[in-house]
Structure 1
Amino acid sequence: MVESTTRDDRPADLRRVLVVAGWVAAGFVGVGTVLGELPDGTARVVVVTLTVVGLGLWLVSLSPRVTDQRILFACLVAAGLIGAVIDRLNPHGPAYILSFMTVAGIGLRLGRRPAIVAGAVVIAALAWAEGSTSSNPTGAALNVAIGAGFLLVAAAFAGANRDANDRAQEMLRLEAETRRAREESAVLAERGRIARELHDVLAHTLSGLAVQLEGARLLAEHTHADPRLVEQVSNAQGLARSGMAGAKRAVATLRGEALPGPEQIPELVEHARLATGAAVTYRVDGEPGALAPELGLPLYRAAQEALANVAKHASGALTEVIVTWTPAHVTVEVTDHGGTPTGLPSGGFGLTGLAERAALAGGHLEAGPHADGWRVCLTMPRAKPEVPR
């Protein structure tokens, strides 16, 4: 991962190096012109003024904010022509470097056709300036033209390579986004299939079970059965309804709807009261705040699993549900006191799966007996743990 990031940053690093080099070259030309030998009279003022204007145009062309090809074309050609004029007026100064700088900028920043036109104009002007002040005009003009031409071609190749790299990086980015979209689509399709299965099988089964239990309760009351049997059937009916509500929430979660979190725990408490008829208290300590869905869901599941276990294994137990908010963590604690053991077998997987889910999100689950009952306590961080690269 680190290697990929470094490779992706290379084009940006190269651009920064080129910009710094351009500024250094501009500074060299400016200082060399001021400290070097200047012509006398009006020509001195003209040379200094043109140097300032030419360097200003060159620095404008270096700015990454300037991307309009017409503006770049005008700035680079004007700076190159100004460099040629200064070279003609002050042959002993470093102004010719400005023309070579603009030739490199033309190859790097302009498209192929504009670069050919702009490069030809600047190279021709520079060759004229060098030839007109040399004792061997033809040889001087050819030498400058050949050198500047090679520089233009090399810069154009470098620019083409940079653009190809940018296009390759963009294609890789688009490919990664497409692959991620396909994976998300596949996950959503699978979740939709599971949601349909849950709705068609589990929800319908629990709905039918609730109806059957309601009939059994009415029959027990009509036949004057043992009141304890009526109470047990009513409790079972409440659990079936609670299971239907949980199945609906699971279907909603699989279909991409909002995940339940600590804010839905009061609903669980109310369902537990209605289902078992036992006393279930609820308290919040600290200041509640925002919590990522993947951190809030384990807290909700912990309360759900603990309340279900109380109803299953400790009939009539007094249950306390406490949600504690601290600056760094959120804790949900479910403790039951007393109650009558039902003797029902334990599946043994609910708390195990919950502990594994919490550990993946940076949480910690504690579960075990205490003085007169059972205690389940889950602590989750309020912020997602950083994943080391």
Structure 2
Amino acid sequence: MTSRSPLAHDRSPGWVGHVVMFVIVAVYACLQVLLYAGGQRTSGVLGTAAELVFNLVVDGLLLFMPSRPRTAGVLVVLGAALAQVAALAAPGLLTSTDALYAGPVLLATPVAVWILAYLRPMPTAFACVGALALLNVQPWAPTWAGLYVGAVYVVLPAVIAMYVRARARLLQSLRERVEIAERERHLLNERAIAAERQHLAAEMHDVVTHHVTEIVLHAGALRTSTEDEAVKAAARRIGDLGSRTMVELRDLIGVMRSGERATPAQETYDRDGRGPAPRSTGHRGGDLAELTATAGASLRVGGDPGTASPVISRAVYRVVQEALTNVRKHAPGARATVDLRYRPEAVSVEILNTAPTAPTDPSLVASGSRAGLTGLRQRVSLLGGTLRSGSTEQGGYLVTASLPASVPAEDHRERPAPPDLSPPRALT
């Protein structure tokens, strides 16, 4: 939708234009009354106040100039022509014969010319302005006074109005060009970001998912080929973690590719390496309860978990996982609380831990990449949410995240059954 130029002819100029015209007409009326009181009278059959009444009527036409400039301009031209005809046929009928200038001069002429030259298209404005110039110059009886009146009363206002109009058009054109350039720059930035996301998604799919799939396949092969129960359990655990990682990667790649669904090449494999694994693993509420229970944290859940889409649920799981991992690394002995709230439009999670009660393990702290929260913040931002973290006054640490209940790219996907987010069992 294009914005309307202020230079376009507006038949509804608003109260400002009418107030300005009312003030101008009032000033002209006062001048006419002062001239009449000063002795400028007519001597025709219409009486001594004919010029005063005639000029007041013409001045009143200015009130219609902002809304109907063509009609009012034509009437002003007709009024000037009537005054000229009356001055030639019956001197003193509509104009005083004692005026300094022999021809009739209408005070409304400059304002009418200005509005016509500024608001109306060029052919209409030129026609009216040209007619008024001829009537004031009086080429049938040329004088220097007539030339001066025509130049000052008609030509000069028209030239100034056309200059102001051209300048306003130029400024409007420059503003529109700046807006177009800004939109194009924004579009180019969006395209560059989208292209970079596509590139990163392709790299993740070609490199990371390939190696993780190999890990899952080898874990499945090891599980079926060994008789050692401990090795089988470890292989099962490796395969389970690999499958969860593939699910996370698949959904993250889908978001990075502007909501594209996973292709068959992106499907994960089950623990035995024999085929595609179920699509919902890592985000399940039971896993979240198990995660918090393993970390010794308490879990509080409010609202309906079914309002959250799978991608959002997995992002919440990843936030809780990273926060609890940081608690184990940086706050030994601290108590952690996970507060999860589901709303129809958003999901919020809060992980709060108390101050540590034991010294940290330097080797455990050094094992981290120090980019966990940064990566989570980028992931949450990519999904349209926000993540904040910081120390508390009591010496603990607080991580809060707020995400939309679903992302637009997921609207076409079938939502799974609501996960079971029951509180974790008590630790013994």
Same fold (TM over 0.5): yes
In the alignment, residue 180 of structure 1 is paired with which amino acid?
A: H
Gaps of 5+ in 1: 1-9, 62-71, 259-264, 292-296, 383-389
| Alpha-carbon distance in structure 2 between the residues aligned to 1:213 and 1:319 | 33
Residue 377 of structure 1 is aligned with which of 394, 399, 406? 399
Gap change, CA 1:23 and 1:45, over 3 Å in 2: closer
2:27 maps to 28
| Alpha-carbon distance in structure 1 between the residues aligned to 2:402 and 2:369 | 25
1:270 maps to 285
| Alpha-carbon distance in structure 2 between the residues aligned to 1:285 and 1:242 | 25
SS state of the match for residue 119, structure 1?
A: helix
2:318 maps to 304
| Alpha-carbon distance in structure 1 between the residues aligned to 2:327 and 2:235 | 15
1:124 maps to 134
1:146 maps to 151
| Alpha-carbon distance in structure 2 between the residues aligned to 1:278 and 1:238 | 18
Counterpart contact for 2:388–2:401, Cα < 8 Å = yes
2:369 maps to 347
| Alpha-carbon distance in structure 2 between the residues aligned to 1:240 and 1:309 | 21
1:159 maps to 165
Counterpart contact for 1:47–1:90, Cα < 8 Å = no
In the alignment, residue 306 of structure 1 is paired with which amino acid?
A: V
Counterpart contact for 1:206–1:240, Cα < 8 Å = yes
1:107 maps to 117
| Alpha-carbon distance in structure 2 between the residues aligned to 1:302 and 1:283 | 14
Is 2:189 the partner of 1:175? Answer: no
Counterpart contact for 1:364–1:378, Cα < 8 Å = yes
Counterpart contact for 1:365–1:376, Cα < 8 Å = yes
Counterpart contact for 1:239–1:275, Cα < 8 Å = no
SS state of the match for residue 268, structure 1?
A: coil
SS state of the match for residue 365, structure 1?
A: strand
Residue 75 of structure 2 is aligned with which of 78, 82, 96? 78
In the alignment, residue 321 of structure 2 is paired with which amino acid?
A: L
Deviation at 1:58, TM superposition (A): 1.3
| Alpha-carbon distance in structure 2 between the residues aligned to 1:32 and 1:304 | 82
- Residues 213-269 of structure 1: CA distance to partner in whole angstroms, max 9, x if unpaired? 22223334xx1423xx433332322221221122122212222239xxxxxx99724
Deviation at 1:195, TM superposition (A): 1.4
Residue 191 of structure 2 is aligned with which of 173, 181, 185? 185
Gap change, CA 1:157 and 1:308, over 3 Å in 2: closer
State percent identity of aligned pairs. Answer: 17
| Alpha-carbon distance in structure 2 between the residues aligned to 1:235 and 1:34 | 103
Matches within 5 A, 1:1-389: 19=17, 21-30=20-29, 32=31, 37=36, 43=50, 48-52=56-60, 54-61=61-68, 72-82=69-79, 85=82, 89=94, 96-127=106-137, 138-147=143-152, 148-220=154-226, 223-226=227-230, 229-257=231-259, 268-270=283-285, 272=287, 283-285=300-302, 301=315, 303-307=317-321, 321-324=338-341, 331-334=348-351, 345-354=367-376, 364-366=388-390, 377-378=399-400
| Alpha-carbon distance in structure 1 between the residues aligned to 2:289 and 2:202 | 28
| Alpha-carbon distance in structure 1 between the residues aligned to 2:123 and 2:242 | 76
Gap change, CA 1:375 and 1:143, over 3 Å in 2: closer
Counterpart contact for 1:107–1:152, Cα < 8 Å = yes
Counterpart contact for 2:303–2:342, Cα < 8 Å = yes
In the alignment, residue 225 of structure 1 is paired with which amino acid?
A: E
Matched residue count: 322
| Alpha-carbon distance in structure 2 between the residues aligned to 1:176 and 1:257 | 27
Say which one has the larger Rg: 2
In the alignment, residue 320 of structure 2 is paired with which amino acid?
A: A
| Alpha-carbon distance in structure 2 between the residues aligned to 1:158 and 1:240 | 72
| Alpha-carbon distance in structure 2 between the residues aligned to 1:244 and 1:195 | 13
Deviation at 1:323, TM superposition (A): 2.2
TM-score (structure 1 length as normaliser): 0.62
In the alignment, residue 233 of structure 1 is paired with which amino acid?
A: A
In the alignment, residue 121 of structure 1 is paired with which amino acid?
A: A
Deviation at 1:101, TM superposition (A): 0.3
Gap change, CA 1:248 and 1:367, over 3 Å in 2: farther
In the alignment, residue 104 of structure 1 is paired with which amino acid?
A: W
Counterpart contact for 1:321–1:333, Cα < 8 Å = yes
- Residues 111-131 of structure 1: CA distance to partner in whole angstroms, max 9, x if unpaired? 444432221012223445xx9
- Residues 314-340 of structure 1: CA distance to partner in whole angstroms, max 9, x if unpaired? 8xxx997422489xx98523479xxxx
- Residues 51-75 of structure 1: CA distance to partner in whole angstroms, max 9, x if unpaired? 43x12321315xxxxxxxxxx4444
| Alpha-carbon distance in structure 2 between the residues aligned to 1:267 and 1:225 | 24
Deviation at 1:149, TM superposition (A): 0.9
SS state of the match for residue 283, structure 2?
A: helix
